[in-house]
Amino acid sequence: MRRSFLTGTLGATATVAVVMACGGGDGLSVFEGAGGSSANGSGAANSGGSGNITLTGGNGGSSAGGNSGGAGGDACAAESYTGERIPIDMFIMMDKSGSMSGQNGQNGGRNVWIPITGAIKQFVQSTASDGIGIGLGYFPIQASSCPSNNPQVCDCTTIDDNCSSCTLSDYSTPDVPIALLPGAANQIVQSLDANGPGGATPTRPALEGALQYARAHMSANAGRRAVVVLATDGRPNDCSSNVNNVSAVARAEFQADPSISTFVIGIGNTGNLNDIAQAGGTDEALIVDSANAGDDFLDAMNAIRGQVLTCEFGMPTPGGGQTVDPNQVNVRFTPEGGPQGDRIFKVDNAAACDGQTGGWYYDDNANPTRIFLCEATCDNIRATPGRIDLELRCPSVIGPPA
């Protein structure tokens, strides 16, 4: 069955409204009324009967007025400003094993390398990808030497693998370092044209090297998020690789830093790659039909771009020396043109996300710097134009509800 991919409706340059508000009595001020509302607008709301909460700042949005419930008397100060989504960098670790050429009848005898590399070229040349960082690495890398008494250096156990390097540093050195699009597009295209399929599938050192590079890149580029896209058409089989130990690599990185996640694109009948994706914090592998490899691969890349851009936000930084209490943050999604949406409830971490009810969580509950939407919530938002509001100074709505 071919999977249907959803792409993001909130683009790379979209912003979110950040609202600091707390009404009297029930602790919630609702900003709504006949005038509508805007993430970039200005307006006022009356709280109980104790005076006004005024929202200031904005870029031409409409005003909204309405009354909030409660007894009044202790309304919080309010401030509204816009915040940008976390900019992303994508590092593609690309399988160029011999099976990508359709050798020995694999992938139905189809050469999937050509349409898939064509899809990557289309992705990096699309204006929708402008502003995203992109980098590229390949596996296998041929070992320059292969001492038979050191299997950690290379693997020459099969006839057609050309002695794959098992050395981590070979895979943590990118063929194309991460750089911003559209400027990096030409280098990506030239790299793809200069490479071709051949060899086996040393997935464990390849993924470990890709994650090591992504971690170093993030350390040198504060304020950005890096994701690794593992694209493969074969079961891990070289350099002692298997699904279990590749999953362990993805899990260890995601647990150490949930800002670095592993997406998996599986081409054709690749076995169970879902374990690797789930360990890397991305729910399941995106499976590409080898008969429609180019279009499906492009859909998968667009889905990854949409998911990351839609579902992660930086913590707001209020001015005037004010601080944010992580226990008094709420997230609300309002569909475009609709009434104000409900608050999304908070869960403890990614593992606590429910597949049906969703939610949101911090990267670090003690010292949060980022807010993540659960996959189920993200799926709903990707399909519906609208805005995300971050509301400060009211107790977080904890879920899921009973």
The stretch 241-256 carries a mean pLDDT of: 94
Higher-pLDDT residue of 352, 138: 138
Cα(139)–Cα(118) distance, integer angstroms: 18
Q: What is the mean pLDDT of residues 125-135?
A: 94
Is the Cβ–Cβ distance between 129 and 305 less than 8 Å? yes
Top pLDDT among 26 and 330 is at 330
User: What share of the chain in percent tops pLDDT 90?
Assistant: 40
293 or 49, which is more confident:
293
Per-residue pLDDT at 31: 28
Q: Which of 195 and 357 is assigned the larger pLDDT?
A: 195
Residue predicted with more confidence, 202 or 32: 202
What residues contact residue 232 under an 8 Å CB cut-off, 6+ apart? 95, 97, 201, 203, 264, 265, 266, 267, 270, 273
C-alpha span between 29 and 70 (Å, rounded): 9
CA distance 379 to 86: 18
Exposure of 16 by Cβ count < 10 A (0-12 exposed, 13-18 middle, 19+ buried)?
Answer: buried
When pLDDT is averaged across residues 351-373 and rounded to a whole number, the result is: 89
Q: Is residue 4 classed exposed, middle or buried when 0-12, 13-18 and 19+ CB atoms within 10 A define those classes?
A: exposed
Q: Half-sphere exposure of 23 toward its Cβ, with a 13 Å CA cutoff?
A: 18
Q: Which of 3, 90, 2 is nearest to 307 (CA)?
A: 90
What CATH number has the domain spanning 88-311? 3.40.50.410
Pure H helices in 264-391: 274-279, 293-311, 375-382
Interatomic CA distance for residues 318 and 390, integer angstroms: 12
Residue percentage of the chain with pLDDT more than 70:
75
| Cα–Cα distance for residue pair 114/101, rounded to 1 Å | 8
Tens of pLDDT along 168-196?
Answer: 999 999 999 999 999 999 999 999 999 99
- Domain boundary assignment for the chain: 15-85+315-392, 88-311
Is residue 151 pLDDT above 70, yes or no?
no
**Between residues 282 and 22, which one has the greater pLDDT?**
282
Per-residue confidence (pLDDT) for residue 223, from 0 to 100: 79
Residue 103 has pLDDT above 70, yes or no: yes
What is the value of pTM for the model shown? 0.68
- Burial letters 147-167, b for 16+ CB under 10 A, else e: eeeeeebbbeeeeebbbbbbb
Give tens-digit pLDDT for 317-352: 777 777 888 998 888 888 888 887 888 999 998 888
* Token code pair at residue 185: 């597009």
Structure confidence by residue, pLDDT tens digits, 35-94? 333 333 333 333 333 222 222 222 222 222 222 222 222 334 434 334 456 788 999 999
Note whether 114 and 353 are within 8 A (CB): no
What does pLDDT average to over the chain? Answer: 77
Residue-wise pLDDT tens digits, 278-288: 999 888 899 99
Task: Note the pLDDT tens digit of each residue in 298-321.
Answer: 999 998 988 787 788 888 777 777
Q: What is the pLDDT of residue 20?
A: 38
Among 79, 28, 26, 75, smallest CA distance to 52 is for 75
Q: Using CB atoms within 10 A of its CB, is residue 260 exposed (0-12), middle (13-18) or buried (19+)? A: buried
Report the range of poorest mean pLDDT among 11-20, 186-195, 252-261: 11-20
DSSP 5-35: PP--SS-TT-EEEEEE---TTTS------TT
Q: What is the pLDDT, as a whole number, of residue 57?
A: 27
